[in-house]
Structure 1
Amino acid sequence: MQDGDKKFLRWLVGIAVGLLVLSCGAVVFSTTTNLQGPPSAFPCKEGMSRGGAVSTTNKHATKIGREILQAGGNVADAAIAVQLALGVAQPQSTGLGGGCFVLLFNASTGETNVIDGREEAPALFHPKIFCAEPECFNRNNVSQAQEECLCETTLPYKYAHRGGLSVGVPGVPAAMGELQAFAALPLSDLAAPAIHLADEGFPFYQHMHDKIVAHLDSLNISDASAEIYLNEARTGPKFEVGETFTNPHLADTMRELAGKGWQWYYSHLADEIIDAANSAVEPHTGRHGLLQKSDFEHYKAVRRNAVRKQLRNDLEYVGMSFPSSGGTSLAMMLKMWNVFPSSADDLGSVLEGSNDKNWTFEEARRMVDVQNTVWADRQKYMGDADFVDVPEGLLDDEYIAERRKEWVACLDAEGCSPSPTRGSEIPVPFGTPPGVEVSTTFVDRGSDRMSTTHFSIADREGNFLSMTTTIEENFGTGVTVPGRGFLLNNELTDFSFRPYPSGTGPAHAYPNAPSGERKRRRTAVGEDANTIGGKRPMSSMSPSLIFSNNEPIAAFGSPGGTRIIGSVFNALVQYLSRGASLFQAVERERMVAKNDVVYYETSYDPDYILELSALGFETSRLPAARPMPYVEAVIRKGSCYGGVADSSRFEMAEAALVE
């Protein structure tokens, strides 16, 4: 038995967990409290504890995160252990070959630390890399003779994401290295539970089975992937549901990583990653990866400032900055919603709220208008702010108020007249924020894919962490690094597939156009602002914190591609504005709009949908088998913590309390 495995088994001794399973599907773990010092004057409410809380999309990761906190670790320790565990138990969503965004509130300093672990484009990438003509793949054809690559059509997504072409330099290991600076426990201790899980295995579950079936073409590109996930004929999953899934190659990689440190990934393991990506040829296009060792040498997880927006009185939203569009979009949406309680004391606990009623039609309509209005600006202006000038005026209070007045339906509580019919005016036009000249109407429509994972953690010291982590598509590129057990991301398909609109030129380039340039990381903070790096594709990942009087009271986030922003917005409005308990905020039906179709869940009031359709909105019901993204959240009320995981939408999600 490895030393790390022995430590892991020691942690299991003496840990008692009481499980409270809520009938609607979301779960929390109820534990007793055993703190040193004087007892609190008031006990914690049901579903809450004084030791902290963990909420993730996978019960194995949640269990490990809880045990790390029980063993004396803090949120950074738990996050590293959870990330490694998710790479084992949910490899279709995240792993060592992916990227992430992290928000960490350090209670000892009062600072919110923002870590950008987004994947980065290699130097050989270029604006026309996703154009379909064969000559567009060669950068020399594009840079030396633009007419040789006309870009009349772009690659279908299914061909662009498979194989090595769309692999960006992974950021998860570098981000975990940054988190290690906040950790209390050594990496060997933090990796031990995930190593044990990979060696001993876990019951193969239905969701993982179904995703393998849906992505056979991708996984068949890689012999290393087929070895882990596919049967001998390579026609289906290697395991039946309930059988034990193991990944010994990944266990060995994590052992080596734990002994040599995170930087070893970029200095030595990089060669194996480059070989895997560059030799993975997509059979229909002949395209492959473009990674070089210098791309790994230039990579770093970047420290950035958080997006901050005062909502009302003592409530403040804190989110991720660019290249994530989530923080700015959610700040705009919440400010545009503009209905919040007078005090954070009025917010609900895990199981208790002040409003058991569901959405009114007015509220549902307002949800659609707010999302459409902000999405118009997102698609027009947002991207990697180290490469493009994203208008700071997007967060200007007066600008947001103007956009709300023009495009957002009123609520009776505001004492104003309802806005006129809007459905016939979709898409909503983008605005002109302060500092921006009136522009053309070229807008990148973007894409809609579902993947990724998220977790939220709080510890007894008041530290909070919200982290969204991904390899983009389910199973990423389908390419596993031989002998290493982890998949490579296809994050570069998050760039726009066209560099600029048809019939125009580089002067009209989309903010999120691909690029192989390297520039100074001008929006980073500290020493990172003087480093040089490649462009990072815009993301919808939205790790979020809510503050009251300069202290965090909640962490929210979700997987789910471009529906992440709308799903987190729905849950935040339920909790912050409508008086819902945390459980209700996570569980209640959602409606997501991205300035085109309005997506809603099967449980939504059908009369509301008919009314929206009558107003001219195009609506689409999501099947129960493919619901909205699942939100993971933790909260603090006084000195008590609670968490909820969205297991009604994803059966493996689970939240746990800490003693």
Structure 2
Amino acid sequence: MRHASLTALRPLLALAVGAGLMLAGCAGGAGIAPAPGSAASAVAAAPQARGPFVAAANPLAVEAGLKVLRQGGSAVDAAVAVQAVLGLVEPQSSGLGGGAFMMVFDAATGEVTSYDGRETAPNAATPELFYENGRPLGFGDAVLSGRSTGAPGAVALLAMAQGEHGQLAWRDLFGDAERLARDGFVVSPRLAGMIAARSGQARTRWANAYFTKADGSRYVAGDVLRNPAYADTLAEIAAGGADAFYHGRIAREIASTVAEGPRPGALTEADIAAYQPIERGALCRPYRIYVVCVPPPPSSGVAVLQLLAMAELTPDILEGPASADAWTAFAQLQRLMYADRDRYVGDPAFVGVPVQGLLDPDYVAARAVQAPTLVGAAEPGFPPGGVFAGPDATQEPAGTSHFVIVDAAGNAVSMTTTVESVFGSGRMAAGFFLNNQLTDFSFEPLRADGQPAANAVAAGKRPRSSMSPVIILDRQGRLVGALGSPGGSAILAYNTKALVAVLDWGLPMAEAFALPNLVAKGDDFGADTDRFTPDLQAALAARGIQLRPNASENSGLHGAIWRQASDGTWRWDGAADDRREGVARTD
């Protein structure tokens, strides 16, 4: 099933909590009465969480979302407005030419639903898509090629979700973005820094035409940038719905741009017209007194749940953010999680992803017990139902955003959205950047013995994604929180850090997000070394955790948790990561 009501799911959830089973394709809480006076009892006594609340990576996008909520729009209505503005003011991260995963909580029914707007490979794609002269292309060459672009999914996802959860007319959700595109918006410092790059996607002929002023200089922070082509595209989509994007002028421009050199791609108008988003079930699993819900594959949400399941068996995690033992445990569990994720997760329409096996209680326990003695890179395990696929050669660079919205009725959206790299492929069509999402496939389709990689390229296939937007419920199935982050493959580390910090360590959301990031994959420990104290770094080094500056895209966490304030009132404790330019606001 794709989603289910709370009433129907309570018996299943109660069984799952007791037996440790994985909850697939469902939502809601267990209906288990908490002990009087416990933390669970306090959560259970909370009033229903309601908005308005918006957290996103740019204040202009947040205001557009709040405006929709003020007009009686739903969380999904506001998500359409937020994405339309982000694609204009933060084009390095997401946009109409990209894809997304969205989690939706329906307050009236208790349903949690995931929407998969991941891009798809063209019909002509082969496992050797990124080969040239018998060898894989360099990553930079692949990104800048036409081969890197898949059929965009964000617009179709938003249209599907808004058709099911919207309150306002679709045509009325693009006004702020269209106005900003026509009249101009002020370039932010972060966007200006990306524009100033001296190579890569910021220096393609498309980017140069967009980011160069009449006097030949580049736009800098504080300049007003206009994009009339984007305004025209939004006007067409507002009037004609998603069909206006996937058929006609916009689709022709996308296909034409992809077909240009160097290294033309094979994405056609027919591939774009054939794109379909997928409404999938949410993966939900009990964690402590909560239930954490994420999207199923090709999202890597299952890896978030696996790490949390191992953390629940690891007492050191509870020692808190000042503890070297807690950070060591967190790092070691990550290494095990990433080894399994990289081996097994892919598009479930093409490979058998052992979701049940990866979350099987006996398997989780067997993996967790390896953490204290793990030396060097972890090897993937053998989860029940797993097919030991070939090694993965996937790279996941920067170019993603996340936002969270709660409306007045208590409906919520947690959405991670991306064009993959900074400015995607660097190619523009109809006023927006095109994704380079197909470089999220493994460049090496086979290993030496001929076994296929789970994330190998195939026609119509969706590349594996680290995007894993989170919805948090209590055991009664009521909304408690939502969060998520950009970060490439480090998204899994960022999301789980935030979840542990908020749910286990009890930190305010802003403090949880501001904690140092630690990304442990293979035999490397990338970290925000400037945010770890010298004493903590030394203590970690003594335990074999030698921190190096983080080479991953940095975090951009956004989210909120429903908490009781010191005056006894319940309110959203929301935040935006201080590493970026986002804000979190209630009205």
- TM-score per shorter chain, which class? 0.7 to 0.9
CA contact (8 A) 1:219 1:479 kept: no
SS at match of 1:545: strand
Query: Could you say which residue in structure 2 is the equivalent of 1:33?
Result: none
Establish whether residue 479 from structure 1 lines up as the match of residue 427 from structure 2. Answer: yes
SS at match of 2:115: strand
Query: Could you say which residue in structure 2 is the equivalent of 1:331?
Result: 305
C-alpha distance in 2 between matches for 1:567 and 1:272 = 36
- Tell me the amino acid that sits aligned with residue 262 of structure 1: A
Query: Could you say which residue in structure 1 is the equivalent of 2:341?
Result: 378
- Tell me the amino acid that sits aligned with residue 514 of structure 1: V
- Tell me the amino acid that sits aligned with residue 504 of structure 1: D
Deviations 1:80-132 (CA, angstroms, capped at 9, x unpaired): 00000101111111111110000001112221121100000001111011123
Deviations 1:589-645 (CA, angstroms, capped at 9, x unpaired): 22111223111111112233334334444431249xx87312100222478442533
Query: Could you say which residue in structure 1 is the equivalent of 2:584?
Result: 655
Q: Classify 1:215/1:434 alpha carbon distance in 2 versus 1 (closer, same or farther; 3 Å).
A: farther
CA contact (8 A) 1:95 1:471 kept: yes
Correspondence 1:126-145 to 2 at 5 A:
126-133=126-133
- Tell me the amino acid that sits aligned with residue 307 of structure 1: L
- Tell me the amino acid that sits aligned with residue 245 of structure 1: L
Aligned length: 530
Query: Could you say which residue in structure 2 is the equivalent of 1:582?
Result: 509
Establish whether residue 535 from structure 1 lines up as the match of residue 461 from structure 2. Answer: yes
Report the CA distance between 1:583 and its aligned residue.
2.1
Query: Could you say which residue in structure 2 is the equivalent of 1:322?
Result: 297
C-alpha distance in 1 between matches for 2:151 and 2:553 = 31
Query: Could you say which residue in structure 2 is the equivalent of 1:260?
Result: 240
Query: Could you say which residue in structure 2 is the equivalent of 1:632?
Result: 558
- Per mean C-alpha deviation after superposition, the further-off stretch among 541-550 and 193-202 is 193-202
SS at match of 2:522: coil
Report the CA distance between 1:194 and its aligned residue.
0.8
Report the CA distance between 1:447 and its aligned residue.
2.3
C-alpha distance in 2 between matches for 1:385 and 1:51 = 35
Report the CA distance between 1:339 and its aligned residue.
6.8
C-alpha distance in 2 between matches for 1:174 and 1:86 = 17
Report the CA distance between 1:490 and its aligned residue.
0.3
1:645 to 570, 575, 581: 575
Report the CA distance between 1:156 and its aligned residue.
0.9
Q: Classify 1:498/1:330 alpha carbon distance in 2 versus 1 (closer, same or farther; 3 Å).
A: same
Establish whether residue 67 from structure 1 lines up as the match of residue 67 from structure 2. Answer: yes
Correspondence 1:150-161 to 2 at 5 A:
151=134, 153-161=135-143
Deviations 1:567-608 (CA, angstroms, capped at 9, x unpaired): 111011000111112222122222111223111111112233
- Tell me the amino acid that sits aligned with residue 156 of structure 2: A
Q: Classify 1:627/1:485 alpha carbon distance in 2 versus 1 (closer, same or farther; 3 Å).
A: closer
SS at match of 2:196: helix
Query: Could you say which residue in structure 1 is the equivalent of 2:224?
Result: 244
Report the CA distance between 1:179 and its aligned residue.
2.0
Deviations 1:349-390 (CA, angstroms, capped at 9, x unpaired): xxxxxx997330110001101100111101111111110011
Report the CA distance between 1:220 and its aligned residue.
4.0
CA contact (8 A) 1:458 1:634 kept: no
CA contact (8 A) 1:58 1:90 kept: yes
Correspondence 1:32-431 to 2 at 5 A:
51-133=51-133, 151=134, 153-181=135-163, 182-214=165-197, 216-223=199-206, 225-231=207-213, 237=218, 239-268=219-248, 269-279=250-260, 281-282=261-262, 287-312=263-288, 314-325=289-300, 327-338=301-312, 358-391=321-354, 392-405=356-369, 407-408=370-371, 419-420=372-373, 422=374, 425-431=375-381
Establish whether residue 504 from structure 1 lines up as the match of residue 504 from structure 2. Answer: no
CA contact (8 A) 1:586 1:644 kept: no
Q: Classify 1:98/1:328 alpha carbon distance in 2 versus 1 (closer, same or farther; 3 Å).
A: same
Normalising by structure 1, report the TM-score: 0.77
CA contact (8 A) 1:563 1:592 kept: yes
CA contact (8 A) 2:319 2:325 kept: no
C-alpha distance in 2 between matches for 1:575 and 1:646 = 14
CA contact (8 A) 2:352 2:386 kept: no
SS at match of 1:94: coil
Query: Could you say which residue in structure 2 is the equivalent of 1:529?
Result: none
CA contact (8 A) 2:322 2:536 kept: no
Establish whether residue 514 from structure 1 lines up as the match of residue 457 from structure 2. Answer: yes
Identity of aligned residues (%): 33
SS at match of 1:161: helix
Query: Could you say which residue in structure 2 is the equivalent of 1:141?
Result: none
C-alpha distance in 1 between matches for 2:94 and 2:291 = 30
Query: Could you say which residue in structure 1 is the equivalent of 2:480?
Result: 553
Query: Could you say which residue in structure 2 is the equivalent of 1:29?
Result: none
CA contact (8 A) 2:396 2:440 kept: no
CA contact (8 A) 1:450 1:560 kept: yes
Q: Classify 1:245/1:232 alpha carbon distance in 2 versus 1 (closer, same or farther; 3 Å).
A: closer
- Per mean C-alpha deviation after superposition, the further-off stretch among 388-397 and 637-646 is 637-646
- Per mean C-alpha deviation after superposition, the further-off stretch among 635-644 and 114-123 is 635-644
Structure 2: any 5+ residue segments left out of the alignment? 1-47
Q: Which has the larger radius of gyration?
A: 1
SS at match of 1:195: helix
Q: Classify 1:509/1:571 alpha carbon distance in 2 versus 1 (closer, same or farther; 3 Å).
A: same
Report the CA distance between 1:451 and its aligned residue.
2.0
- Tell me the amino acid that sits aligned with residue 276 of structure 1: T
C-alpha distance in 1 between matches for 2:379 and 2:313 = 24
Query: Could you say which residue in structure 2 is the equivalent of 1:443?
Result: 391
CA contact (8 A) 1:80 1:179 kept: no
Correspondence 1:458-469 to 2 at 5 A:
458-469=406-417
SS at match of 1:165: helix
Report the CA distance between 1:445 and its aligned residue.
4.7
- Tell me the amino acid that sits aligned with residue 360 of structure 2: D
Coordinate RMSD, CA, aligned: 2.4
Structure 1: any 5+ residue segments left out of the alignment? 1-47, 134-150, 342-354, 409-418, 517-533
CA contact (8 A) 2:116 2:277 kept: yes
Q: Classify 1:110/1:479 alpha carbon distance in 2 versus 1 (closer, same or farther; 3 Å).
A: same
Normalising by structure 2, report the TM-score: 0.86
Q: Classify 1:375/1:211 alpha carbon distance in 2 versus 1 (closer, same or farther; 3 Å).
A: same
